[in-house]
Amino acid sequence: MEQAHISIGTRRLDLGGLLRPVVGDAVAIERTAQAYREATPAPHAEVDGLFDESLLDLVEKEFDTMPRWREVRSRREHVFRSVSSEDFGPATRLYMAAVNSPEFLAYLSRVTGIANLIADVTATGGGPHETRNGGYFGVHRDFVYHRETGLVNALVVITYLNRDWEPEYGGDLELWDKRGRVRGTHPLFGRTIMLGHPHRAFHGCPKPLAAPEGRHRRSIASYYYVNPHVARETTRSSIFLDNPTINERLRLIARGATPPAIWSLVGAAKQKVRGRA
């Protein structure tokens, strides 16, 4: 069967190849998962080559045609961020669709061990980010709750879009603990960092950027959330409007009064008994 394609400008992209094969490679996933678990000072992992380079090239070019930027300037930061997902160009929209896809969410869950990740299709706080010469972003920890949905921030994924980026330009994403910098991620083109959101996940780019005139540090970010209330949910199946039998009523009352974990154990025991029958 012929693969589906999309053309953006003169580029023809294979829609089935926007995520590279490493996303489905069990050995590579376990290696990345181990790095994520063992990383300090907070769980994180770096991966090169997760996405089609042609797609990332197109995303980077769309920074120059972004209709508006939100300049954030204070003593702690001076950066530029996209205003709304409505401003994204076609390549940026395609990248965001890829990182919000079920396939990529499954990949992230396998790497991080965080189940039931929820993508944010509004790209609140995410999308294209740009730091210009002299810009900086103080060491900080990200927000805890999505400002509209109230979901809990669990993970940020950042892909860098800077070809031939020299160390003397600065712009490393620095990870800190209470004593200072622990390590940095050089923002090379096609490099992606997955950074978990525990209480110790402090990071930033505190040194002013010193790139050549006209060069900007560019990246695109996406956030992922978890629902803190999901474990409290007691209704696991549909409740019909017609009159339930006495046994059904007793079952519903019991479900409402029993922690979900107990019902999971009961269900597992039943499955075990059936397997022996």
**Domain residue extents for the chain:** 5-228, 233-276
Q: Using alpha carbons, list the distances in angstroms from residue 273 to 186, 258, 270.
A: 55, 22, 5
Q: Is 265 exposed, middle or buried (0-12, 13-18, 19+ CB in 10 A)?
A: exposed
- DSSP character string of 177-207: ETTEEEEEE--BTTEEEEEE-STT-EEEE-S
> Taking residues 266-271, what's their average pLDDT?
55
Least confident of 109-113, 189-193, 273-277: 273-277
Summarised one tens digit per residue, pLDDT across range 209-256 is 999 999 999 999 999 999 988 755 445 556 566 666 666 666 656 666
Averaged confidence pLDDT in the chain: 88
Q: What is the pLDDT of residue 190?
A: 98
Q: Which residues contact 151 (CB under 8 A, 6 or more apart)?
A: 118, 145, 225, 226, 227, 228
Q: What is the pLDDT of residue 82?
A: 97
Summarised one tens digit per residue, pLDDT across range 155-188 is 999 999 999 999 999 999 999 998 999 999 999 9
Q: Is cis: bond before 260, omega within 30 of 0?
A: no
Q: Is the pLDDT of residue 100 over 80?
A: yes
Q: What is the pLDDT of residue 1?
A: 47
Q: What is the pLDDT of residue 117?
A: 97
pLDDT bucket at 200, cuts 50 / 70 / 90: confident
Q: How many CB atoms lie within 10 A of CB 47?
A: 24
What is the C-alpha to C-alpha distance for residues 112 and 43, in angstroms, rounded to an integer? 8
- Per the CATH hierarchy, to which homologous superfamily does domain 5-228 belong? q2cbj1_9rhob like domain (2.60.120.620)
> Taking residues 19-26, what's their average pLDDT?
95
pTM: 0.83
Top pLDDT among 90 and 199 is at: 90
Q: What is the pLDDT of residue 236?
A: 54
What is the C-alpha to C-alpha distance for residues 223 and 122, in angstroms, rounded to an integer? 10
